[in-house]
Amino acid sequence: MNTIQETTTSNAAPGASQFESRPIAWRIGSEIMGIDLKRSDDISDESIRDMWQLLGQRGILLFRKQGLNHDQHLAFTRRFGALAVTGLTSRYAPPGYPDIFTVTNIKTDGARSETENAAQQWHSDQTFLRVPARASMLRCELAPQHGGDTMFANMYAVYEDLSEGLKATLEPLKAFHSLFSTRSKVMKGRKPLGDEELMRVEGAVQPVVLTHPDTGRKSLYINEQCVDHFEGWTIEESKPLLEYLYNLTSHPAYTYRHRWQQGDILFWDNRCTQHYAPLDYNFAELDAPENRRLMFRSTLA
């Protein structure tokens, strides 16, 4: 992900769907052009393979002005594999679409949305599960007139820029990931989980350094939303090192800030990126149309 390539074209077979790509930032992200996601069944297997390979290399893929509905969104996601099943998504799903997670600040019957604060900390999706999310796809229906951005960090680059001594320290370590870590804000403003939901999110131990199964590259795989200690360390012992690593994640050299447009699709690899949604818009006047934010996310197991 450190090398920018010139505009490329998928090597799909003649007559099949093709696309072009160009970097959107130096160390992370590519925009995909010349492809219509509404007709995902018509996209060639070669193009799907090439996009998946590019996702592993660049971390995030951007598709502009697609205007998908829920069915089209899920159909395109499924071209890359099975959807994740967590037991949590359905409580925030649109009617009839239990596999879609709604992220919005729009009130319902006068009540504030439980997901208005979603992604207020740097994280990768679902690391608190024993088998965490492989990739996520977020679709923009409404974005605030000013702000409402999402930021992404290249965790390959964060790891690769560490000293050899620190890499050697981190590589054998594991960390405990939990929705209920002392750092987590993910449940702020949300209804308590039921017994079945709690069983699904009891937490998980993950490697601190993850080797990506497709690219073979190593990335830092801890996040401030879910991790407050290394396995075998106390919270207090872990805190100084974790603070140092979390501060690196948000360094501008490793990040891309996306300004949403209606119809955008962002597809990211949770194994080599993290994301964060800053409160960069008028949160005090959410009823104003220009401040409304509505997003829909699908997730690959």
pLDDT in tens, 206-262: 999 999 999 999 999 999 999 999 999 999 999 999 999 999 999 999 999 999 999
User: For residues 258 and 149, is the Cβ–Cβ distance under 8 A?
Assistant: yes
Domain encompassing residue 138: 8-300
Tokens read off for 29: 């992200």
pLDDT tens per residue, range 21-39: 999 999 999 999 999 999 9
Query: Is residue 89 over pLDDT 80?
Result: no
pLDDT averaged over the chain?
Answer: 90
Residue 240 domain-assigned? yes
CATH number of residue 167's parent domain:
3.60.130.10
User: For residues 94 and 115, is the Cβ–Cβ distance under 8 A?
Assistant: no
DSSP 89-151: GGGGPPTT-TT-EEEE---BTTBPPTTTTTT-S-B-TTTTSSS--SEEEEEEEE--SS---EE
Residue 188 domain-assigned? yes
CA 278 to chain centre: 14
Number of structural domains the chain divides into = 1
What pLDDT is attached to residue 194? 75
Share of the chain above pLDDT 90, in %: 74
pTM for the structure as a whole: 0.91
How far is the C-alpha of 95 from the C-alpha of 105, rounded, in Å? 18
How far is the C-alpha of 260 from the C-alpha of 106, rounded, in Å? 17
Dihedrals phi, psi of 23, to nearest 5 degrees: -65, 145
Report which of residues 103 and 190 the model is more confident about. Answer: 103
Residue 257 domain-assigned? yes
User: For residues 18 and 48, is the Cβ–Cβ distance under 8 A?
Assistant: no
Query: Is residue 15 over pLDDT 50?
Result: no
The residue-averaged pLDDT of 69-96 equals 89
Amino acid (one-letter) located at 12: A
How far is the C-alpha of 291 from the C-alpha of 229, rounded, in Å? 37
Residue 1 domain-assigned? no
How far is the C-alpha of 59 from the C-alpha of 23, rounded, in Å? 11
Residue 41 domain-assigned? yes
What pLDDT is attached to residue 65? 93
Query: Is residue 9 over pLDDT 60?
Result: no
Query: Is residue 272 over pLDDT 90?
Result: yes
Amino acid (one-letter) located at 6: E
The DSSP output letter for 40 is: G
Residue 294 domain-assigned? yes
Residue 2 domain-assigned? no
Amino acid (one-letter) located at 124: S
Residue 40 domain-assigned? yes
Query: Is residue 20 over pLDDT 70?
Result: yes
Q: Where are the beta strands (DSSP E) in the chain?
A: 8-9, 20-23, 30-33, 60-63, 101-104, 135-142, 150-154, 174-177, 204-207, 209-211, 218-220, 227-230, 255-258, 265-269, 273-276, 294-300
In the sheet that 255-258 helps form, which strands lie side by side, from edge to edge?
255-258, 150-154, 273-276
What pLDDT is attached to residue 202? 78
